[in-house]
Chains A and B, each alone.
Chain A
């Protein structure tokens, strides 16, 4: 096959350009490495550029939610170039390594975290046939890479030689490590339903998107994704008002920018992963297989659009949560994980496994099976809510009893010390 500029442009729009170039170059040794190189460059550049947009989006949306205007000076009425200006500012700042810091851990940490956040994208399918590599251990690869970023945080906290930084690092590790447990457990459910860890297989298994099959798993994954990316309400590892930004307090200029960059890339990746695993990725009523006349196969392009809409919808929910909820305390954060999320997810995995193996399930079609799972999930949700309500009532009553006892003691032994109204107001 010879090279034609028109066919090349057409394959660009079809997103089949790699297949086209394979056809043109034929079976030569350099073809795959070169195509991989191009693909890696495209993905990395996309990640770096989209962050500029994401930061602007977040500031704008949060501002609107808080009844402010947000950036509106640089780059026209909507402040579109505000982040570009910020990036330039960060780039032109002095690189400081504090005198007391440990040079290698301190400077290695931002590099490691950026590398880890970029590496995760390799297994995320953007459109049919458009992904880095379809591994049969896809989701597990994501977990392995994200465990590297934990080490990076610890290095940053320790290397900075600062009390706030170290305290922030401890909190970060406790949080990231704890929430990794419900995250992997909740991902076990889609893995189980699809019988595969490959992202492509999981998308193919979603005749009904998994969010409608196992909504509890989706909810738990979303909550642990919030915690893993350190976003509100789980931002106690940065907690500007207590430990002034936590583990990256000693980082300035572009080194701080790299932590910021990794955080945004990580959040967008989690949105993309949620869209892939629970919302069916690029699939939407068979739109991704759309073919028009004249040899145009626009399915891939449509799939890409569908995926991006889903991904950004999830991302918007991330911002929404940030605009709505206050911050957890560390004991609340850990209790919520170990005493609520982990037992609930364990119960969920067991339940899904048992339901999947019910004798009549084998004879049912995809949609009816999804219905049975959905029913079981809702049942589990109701039971959980009921247990929570009983627990809350017990706690409230214990609290009231304690207050009543204190009021009795106060009015008995120290009369006149506290007015009865003041006690009642407790």
Chain B
């Protein structure tokens, strides 16, 4: 209840603090314009050095922006895409320059007692940090630690110093703030960017040479106490047709492009489709959550939960055809937020004709022999490992008013339902070397998105039935419970704690960010061997 109170206070006070602020964030694209990819900042000679400044402002329509500003010779840009190779080092300096508000002190929360990383102090609306979502890197200070790392306004830059593991799966990751209690505000404001680990073409040669697009889908609300639907954006351009002109995605006739799409929304489950000729097209799915599929597969609809990513090949229609990129509506359950159908972009086909490429409808069994082996990346052949432990966890909620459920829980079966507190003991303790099978059920009347830091997990079963595609994920949807007389929806997955570099304390939680902020999260401690 206390966390609920803090959150509502934050809404009440911070929701209107913008009235006194001047613009700090770059102007975002106008509606109906061509969608541009974010600026790319790539590693050079094994290292990527960059500085991001977290700032805060409000646009003319009243939307609060949070921005990771990156300085260029032409001025600041937001949330550059960071590109590194496996084995490279990311040296990311982050400064917090969110303007404080006189009343911000009301929303303080104590940080994790004991350890301090960064500036320390109380967790506030103007505090920030960075989570490198999906990266399989250590949960320690200056790397991917969200429990003790805290940056405060006006302090010197804090450096994240992360070596991308040499066996890190190539793919799309993303970075975003993760200050408990306040994450939603900053991500809702747009503080999220893509991070790409290079090398997908080594595992999927079919993407080699294709034009690559990186689309970051974000979400923003104007009035936080109304539970959606909220406005979607694609690379910061509002996607709200027909109220606004649709964003334009340029393609050549018949052109194949490699789309890397991150769901950086605060809560939206997005079944993605590309339509032309009056029907959804087959999309060649290459990777999910930054992990290449062993074999690409063709799907009409690719569901990405909040924080999930999908990488797929899209083929444009021939000349003189219309096409659209769309997120279908998704039912999140009786108490979930409405995720309505929304056109994300209109595919504008123009320019010279691309040579029509034959779309492979089969798996990539005939790919070149030079293709890298899936055995060379993390979590390879996890399905062959024997689990050392089995656990069951479940999502549940108590719902007493419009401010959402009274409490949001994720509970290890057999333990007492409780919300996350910074000073809590880990709900799960395991040890480096463990391989565990977890079943996660949803006892709530809304869909949740399970996420664990530091590792991917291999999906084995959904609703008690083995799945044919045992994908490696770091975030996955768990559909809502239909109510009395219906079974709980669930998934079972294999969690790999063998890598000694992930020893330490980190978290698992629902990636609907309101839920995370309100405590649907707990710690896991991986003891060193």
Asked if A and B are interacting partners, one says no
Q: Which residues of B contact A (CB under 8 A)?
A: none
